Amino acid sequence: MRRWKWAALVAVGCWVGCGGGGSLPSDKQVPPVTMPDGPVILPEVPGGTGTPAPDPFTSLYPLTTGSTWTYRIEDPSVATGPFEKQVVVVGEQPVPETSETAIEVRSTQPHLEEVSWQKEKDGVVYRLREEDHKAGTLARVTTWSPAAMKSLALERPQGWSFVSSLTELTRYPTGTKKDDTDKKKYTWSVEAVNETVTTPAGTFPNAIRLQRKREDKVEPVRTYWLVPGIGKVKETGERTEELTAYDVKKP
């Protein structure tokens, strides 16, 4: 498997993710909420019940501790031109405000940072919690009920689809916003398999093209190209992300 490594790895302690652009308040603390006791709900997906976890070197979304990816991003909302996003898997960590643990994934881009907690079940990766940071200060916390699908870890055939409706709770330092009646609807579908996609990190002949549709977004469709043993190599939609370097670690 072809691997690329960063010339210098930013200290994990200062990496707290990425998200979309925009200004976030950062002068106050985000108010906490009391999460329900018991495990976070992970929805069932078609063809997944009882599926064993994929091997990291065949997974479409490897979550092995220390794995890293770098992406070149072109975003129409950012006037300064292309920039980089760097991602690292920190490993199993407690999920704040719950009794759960999950895989912590941190990423960073110049104008916004993010840390998220993710779980894999039946070949699907879910988001349990995300925190956005600006200038090193926690600015927004997002949680979902049930947990939101993030990506596929295990290959599905062309034509596979999954629809989920969930409540998204977003908290800002200025208060809490929660939409209990108008649930978010996500439609996921495998549009193609064994596609060839070329990025600065190389040419990949065995990519799966996965689409996510979310009608409440201005740009409702995102498309992801996932490669076994590597993960996401390209994304299009609100912006374009292309893999430039990666290093997937052994368990």
Among 141, 101, 121, 100, which Cα is nearest to 17's? 141
CB atoms within 10 A of CB 194: 10
The encoded tokens of residue 167 equal 């409540």
Residue ranges, the chain, pLDDT below 50: 1-28, 34-38
Q: What is the pTM of this model?
A: 0.82
| Residues paired with 87 in a beta bridge | 69, 107
| pLDDT of res. 114 | 96
Do 206 and 197 touch, CB atoms closer than 8 A?
A: no
139-174 in b/e form (b: 16+ CB < 10 A) is bbbbbbebbbbbbbbbbbeeebebebebbbbebbbe
Report d(CA 231, CA 245) in Å as an integer: 12
Q: What is the pLDDT of residues 167-221, one digit of tens each?
A: 888 888 877 776 655 688 999 999 999 999 999 999 999 999 999 998 777 789 9
Do 44 and 55 touch, CB atoms closer than 8 A?
A: no
